[in-house]
Amino acid sequence: MNSLIDDKTIIHLKSTRIINMVNTSLVLCFEPESEEDCHKLMSYYEMFQKVVPLSYSLTPHITLAYFNAAFDSIDENGYFRNSYISSKYTKRLKDVVDHLNEMNPMHIELSVFDLAYQHFSSMNHFTTRYQLKESVLIVDDAAFMRKKIANLLKDMSAPVYEADSGSEMIQMLDEVNPSVILLDSHLPDLDSMTLLEELHKEYPYIKVIYMEESSFCHDKAIHLGAVKCLSKPIDNLELIHEVQKLLSVR
């Protein structure tokens, strides 16, 4: 994915119709708006086929709903049996689909810059492991400090997120998948050095700037995985420079 970092390609798609996919879901299908968009889409598909090959053809779609055409019920003897949704419900479902298919097409844009590598565990759980889009996460229990740093970084292209504790940072990691973390040395719930060490082990691609009120722990922080240590009070220009430098190196 590193080869795509500077790729600004946009692929234009338009919806075609809603279909029943393998009797488990309703999906809104899409197709490229032009021959150029089709060639772009297929070139990326072929590229990723070399990494994780799929055993089926590419079907651009958005899943709208899942359903179970057959369901378990209990008969008069207490045994499970497989039943089917009654015809009145399937008729209602068909009417809804027919109505939606009469609507004007939806137009969307696929940005290569938004690509992400995700680990799939269930239909409701996708864990982001790597993404091209960069972001910054500020971890500090002092709200005024978070707001100050966020304001300093507001003009950067990368979105900036905030966490007021180590626990909140952990909850946000897979959601925002930060490229850079600004980690304060004193948090109310978890030890910052332990967090730093775990981040380096589990998320080695995340660059951590450690913020300490003295230089006493700087060597230890670097040893545990920090790429930079900044002493408080933070020099504004130095902070901006260090974050910009890390965002430009992937």
Residues 181 and 217 in one domain: yes
d(CA 14, CA 19): 15
Q: Is 142 exposed, middle or buried (0-12, 13-18, 19+ CB in 10 A)?
A: exposed
Predicted local distance difference test score (pLDDT) of residue 61: 93
Residue 67 pLDDT greater than 80, yes or no: no
The answer to which of 62-66, 90-94, 121-125, 127-131 has the lowest mean pLDDT is: 127-131
Assess if residue 191 is contained within a domain. yes
Same domain, 183 and 110: no
Asked if the model's pLDDT at residue 167 lies above 70, the reply is yes
**Pair (140, 92) in one structural domain:** no
100 and 39 in a common domain? yes
Domain co-membership, 74 together with 139: no
% residues pLDDT > 90 (the chain): 47
**Residue 84 binned pLDDT confidence (cut-offs 50, 70, 90):** low
Rounded CA separation 13/121 (Å): 28
Q: What does pLDDT average to over the chain? A: 85
3-state secondary structure the chain: CHHHCCCCCEEEEEEEEEEEECCCEEEEEEEECCHHHHHHHHHHHHHHHCCCCCCCCCCCEEEEEECCCEEEEECCCCCEEEEECCHHHHHHHHHHHHHHHCCCCCEEEEEHHHCEEEEEEECCEEEEEEECCCCEEEECCCHHHHHHHHHHCCCCCCCEEEECCHHHHHHHHHHHCCCEEEEECCCCCCCHHHHHHHHHHHCCCCEEEEEECCCCCHHHHHHHCCCEEEECCCCHHHHHHHHHHHHCCC
CA dihedral over 62, 64, 70, 71, signed as positive or negative: positive
Greater confidence (57 vs 6) lies with: 57
* pLDDT(227) > 70: yes
Question: Predicted confidence band at 211 (pLDDT cuts at 50, 70, 90)?
Answer: very high
Q: Residue 195's pLDDT is what?
A: 94
Of 42, 29, 41, 35, nearest in space to 105 by CA: 29
Q: For 118-164, how does the pLDDT look when each residue is reduced to its tens digit (9 = 90+)?
A: 777 777 777 666 667 788 999 999 999 999 999 999 888 788 999 99
| HSE (side-chain half, CA atoms, 13 Å) at 192 | 25
Residue range 10-60, pLDDT digits in tens: 999 999 999 988 778 889 999 999 999 999 999 999 988 988 888 888 889
Confidence of residue 111 (pLDDT cuts 50, 70, 90): confident
Q: Say whether both 143 and 216 belong to one domain.
A: yes
209 and 162 fall within a common domain: yes
Domain count, the chain: 2
Mean pLDDT calculated for residue range 196-222: 87
Q: CATH number of the domain at 181, please.
A: 3.40.50.2300
Q: Do 40 and 83 share a domain, yes or no? A: yes
Residue 9 falls inside a structural domain:
yes
3-state secondary structure 78-109: CCEEEEECCHHHHHHHHHHHHHHHCCCCCEEE
Question: Domain containing 22: what range?
Answer: 2-115
Q: 6 with 101, same domain?
A: yes
Q: Read off the pLDDT band of 213 (50, 70, 90).
A: confident
**pLDDT of 6:** 63
Residues 185 and 240 reside in one and the same domain:
yes
Say whether pTM exceeds 0.85.
no
| pLDDT tier at 203, thresholds 50, 70, 90 | confident
Structural domain ending residue among the three candidates 115, 142, 159: 115
Is 21 within the bounds of a domain? yes
**Distance between alpha carbon 234 and the CA centroid of its chain, in Å?**
30
Domain final position from 88, 115, 142: 115
Domain membership flag for residue 196 = yes
Go through the chain and tell me how many residues it has: 250
Shared domain check, 228 and 193: yes
Has residue 120 been placed in a domain?
no
- Domain annotation covers residue 122: no
Percent over 70 (pLDDT), the chain: 87
Residues 150 and 61 in one domain: no
Is 102 inside a domain boundary? Answer: yes
Does 48 map to a domain?
yes
